[in-house]
Structure 1
Amino acid sequence: MNNDIRCLSTEDIEINCSPSFQKKNHSNFWKSLHRIWENLVKKLLSNPNELQVWQKVDRQGNIYWQAYDPVTGKSFSSGSQTDVCMWIEQLYRY
């Protein structure tokens, strides 16, 4: 029994990707990397005790708002920006 192991050279490997597929993946990679970088910078520059409010999109494409107060540990979410503003006002009213 012969157990020969050999490595494939680049000539032995065929890459069957169209140029548009390669360009699309390259573009998605840089977009993802840019998004990660932006989130990292936001985290580093943010005040950990500051009220946080952000907009999200669920699986059905519905847009909703979330708010979190790290000082009290309370959070709130709603499909209405007005509701979130009212929650913030009530939170700091007292």
Structure 2
Amino acid sequence: MKTTSYFGSHHRVIHWQKEHTAKKTLARLRQSITSSLSKLKEHLGNLHTDSEPKIWQKKDSKGNLYYRVYDPICDRYFCLNSEAEVRWWLDKRYYL
């Protein structure tokens, strides 16, 4: 009849607990890295779109249309009177 001592059995339990804890830690680490990489990818994607100008069509107190333009590259706002001026500004911004 094979008998197992208490110490041998206890050693296997401790080994199993350490292995189980290591697997759980590795799973949490993997999840954390995946989440961090996903956030980094999102932020890198935003870098491109954050450099794009923002354009709003507005009306002044007399009801006249004008365009408010924000350029994130130089962190400035511009007020332009027509779509033609907006197109000119965009061309100037990209090609100069």
| Structures share fold, TM-score greater than 0.5 | no
- Which protein is bigger by CA-based radius of gyration? 2
Interval of TM-score (by shorter of Structure 1 and Structure 2): 0.3 to 0.5
> Normalising by the residue count of structure 1, what TM-score does the alignment of the two structures yield?
0.45
> Normalising by the residue count of structure 2, what TM-score does the alignment of the two structures yield?
0.44
**Which structure carries more helix by proportion?**
2
